[in-house]
């Protein structure tokens, strides 16, 4: 009986423990199911988050093949995410783009983590390019690289706006540079230089292979003043009759003319070689007017249709060209009046000395020829022209009797004559003329070896303007009649210059005079 009771108690305890273990198991199972449901809900939440992100999430294996990519790729690049699995990432990248400092951007991803790296991708349509900005991280397993994960966002519109802004800034910079050139320094002789600067700027800014500026002359024809671009040698330099060409039509109808998709439809005697070469597809003619009077045409030839913002810039440049021409004309009128005043002053001075009438103008003309042969700028040549006219202006302060005295001068009389460069300097210093003009006047009798008059403080060398005026002055004096001598022939005068080359006269200037004589320009 006791054994039976004991066995019953053991069995009862066992059943109780079994029941308790079963209850604990059921509780654990409920907890596990709850955790599983939470995990599933969390996974669903993160799956939805990943699939609905606007940024592209991707994973590639060590070889560059796509093992995961979210649905954002469909919105951005037009691909179904499923169709990209196992494809190489390189297959959807733009094959025409070259990455800076990297020949293989995918291989670069396995070497280092990338930050804000631009990836140029190809849309599923096969033609549209998209720009993604990506951050990547390498994935390792047991210390071995197994892949790369990345997140990329579409920045195509930002890149487009940045490029548009950069292009607009470049256009504004071109307009500013050209406007500055006009305001800073524009003379009649440099107009063609400025027009070439404008055509070159248009070519560099638009990428067009040809830009020309033609001005309308009194003969009713458009004369080419400037041309730039790789095709500039393919155009005719002959004047274009405005009645026989579409370019002239822009002038006659007072409107911009745009010709797109040319083919061979626009062929004339003026552009035959260019059109038949199929080198251009589009041409724009912009007429230019000054005070409602036509003055020329700005033309741009290109392989592609120019965007609207370029058209705005070209119209602005056409207005700048008109302003430059107007300013040039005004400058020329003022300059001519200015030179006429100076020449009148010199004539008044030369009336005192019948032997030197016309001498200053001839010296000026020969000095200008020398300057041009030396390749001097328009401004430098203009200064030489003025210095040549005014080089003897100091003789106003010399007695008429002394200037017109027949025969040779006495030593003291010659000392008085030698004062005229210094008198000229004092006169010109009150006029606001440039230092070059004043030095040319003061030192035109100074020898190349720095001997002679006027006596000056220590000098390193004779200024170029003085060297030029000195040779031109001596040459004209030698071939002119004077009360104390007969004139030399031009050949004799040139030989005399050569005889004193290196001492009295600058060898370089003497060589130029010899060349001008040999070409019958003196």
Task: Give the pLDDT of the chain (522 residues) as one tens digit per residue.
Answer: 555 556 656 666 666 676 776 666 666 666 656 655 565 555 555 555 556 678 888 999 999 999 998 888 888 899 987 888 888 998 899 988 888 777 789 889 999 999 999 999 999 998 899 999 999 999 999 989 999 999 999 998 888 887 877 777 776 776 676 666 665 555 434 677 778 888 888 888 778 888 899 998 888 889 988 898 888 887 778 888 888 888 888 888 888 888 777 665 565 666 666 666 666 778 888 898 888 888 888 888 887 776 776 777 777 778 878 877 777 777 777 767 766 777 776 666 666 555 556 788 899 999 999 999 999 988 889 889 988 888 888 887 777 667 667 777 777 877 887 888 888 888 888 777 788 888 998 999 989 998 888 877 677 789 999 999 999 999 998 988 776 677 899 999 999 999 999 999 999 999 999 999 999 988
CATH numeric code, 351-518:
1.10.3210.10
Residue 52 and residue 46: Cα distance in Å, rounded?
10
Q: Are 476 and 497 within 8 A, CB to CB?
A: no
**Domain 56-154 annotated CATH 3.30.450.20:** yes
Judged by DSSP in three states, 502 sits in coil
Beta strand 257-259 with 117-122 is: unpaired
- Domain ranges in the chain are 1-46, 56-154, 162-330, 351-518
Residue closest to 496 by CA, chosen among 471, 468, 469, 521: 471
* The pairing of beta strand 240-241 with beta strand 257-259: unpaired
Contacts of 221 by beta carbon, 8 Å cutoff, 6+ apart: 239, 240, 241, 242
CATH class of the domain defined by 162-330: alpha beta
The token pair at 368 is 């200008």
Q: Are 465 and 438 in contact (CB under 8 A)?
A: no
Listed in sequence order, the residues at least 6 apart from 516 whose beta carbon sits closer than 8 Å to its beta carbon are: 366, 369, 370, 373, 522
Please tell me if the domain spanning 162-330 has the same topology as the one spanning 351-518.
no
């Amino acid at each position: 009986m006791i054994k039976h009771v004991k066995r019953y108690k053991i069995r009862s305890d066992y059943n109780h423990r079994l029941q308790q273990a079963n209850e604990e198991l059921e509780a654990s199972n409920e907890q596990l199911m709850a955790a599983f449901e939470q995990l599933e809900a969390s996974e669903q939440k993160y799956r939805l988050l990943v699939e609905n992100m606007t940024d592209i999430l991707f994973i590639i294996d060590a070889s560059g093949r796509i093992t995961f990519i979210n649905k954002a790729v469909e919105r951005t690049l037009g691909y179904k995410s499923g169709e990209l699995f196992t494809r190489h990432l390189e297959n959807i990248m733009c094959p025409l783009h070259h990455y800076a400092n990297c020949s293989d951007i995918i291989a670069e991803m396995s070497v280092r983590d990338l930050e804000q790296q631009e990836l140029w991708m190809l849309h599923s349509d096969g033609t549209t390019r998209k720009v993604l900005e990506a951050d990547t991280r390498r994935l390792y397993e047991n210390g071995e690289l197994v892949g790369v994960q990345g997140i990329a966002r579409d920045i195509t519109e930002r890149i487009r706006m940045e490029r548009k802004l950069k292009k607009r800034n470049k256009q504004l910079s071109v307009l500013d540079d050209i406007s500055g050139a006009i305001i800073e320094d524009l003379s009649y002789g440099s107009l063609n230089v400025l027009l070439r600067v404008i055509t070159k700027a248009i070519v560099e800014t638009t990428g067009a292979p040809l830009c020309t500026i033609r001005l309308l002359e009194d003969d009713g024809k458009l004369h080419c003043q400037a041309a730039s671009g790789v095709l500039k040698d393919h155009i005719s330099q002959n004047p274009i009759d405005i009645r026989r060409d579409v370019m002239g039509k822009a002038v006659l109808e007072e409107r911009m003319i745009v010709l797109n998709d040319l083919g061979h439809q626009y062929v004339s005697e003026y552009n035959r070689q260019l059109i038949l070469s199929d080198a251009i597809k589009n041409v724009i003619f912009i007429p230019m007017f000054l005070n409602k009077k036509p003055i020329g045409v700005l033309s741009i030839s290109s392989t592609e249709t120019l965007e609207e913002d370029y058209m705005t810039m070209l119209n602005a440049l056409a207005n700048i060209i008109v302003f430059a021409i107007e300013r040039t004309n005004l400058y020329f009128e003022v300059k001519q009046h200015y030179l006429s005043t100076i020449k009148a002053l010199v004539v008044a001075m030369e009336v005192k000395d019948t032997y030197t009438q016309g001498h200053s103008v001839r010296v000026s003309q020969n000095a200008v020829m020398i300057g041009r042969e030396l390749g001097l700028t328009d401004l430098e040549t203009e200064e030489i022209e003025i210095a040549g006219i005014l080089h003897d202006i100091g003789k106003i302060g010399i007695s008429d009797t002394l200037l017109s005295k027949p025969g040779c001068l006495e030593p003291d009389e010659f000392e008085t004559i030698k004062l005229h460069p210094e008198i000229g300097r004092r006169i010109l210093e009150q006029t606001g003329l440039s230092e070059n003009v004043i030095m040319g006047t003061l030192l035109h009798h100074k020898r190349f070896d720095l001997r002679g008059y006027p006596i000056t403080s220590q000098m390193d060398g004779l200024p170029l303007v003085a060297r030029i005026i000195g040779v031109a002055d001596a040459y004209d004096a030698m071939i002119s009649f004077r009360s104390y001598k007969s004139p030399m022939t031009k050949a004799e005068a040139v030989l005399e210059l050569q005889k004193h080359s290196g001492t009295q006269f600058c060898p370089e200037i003497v060589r130029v005079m010899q060349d001008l004589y040999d070409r019958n320009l003196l």
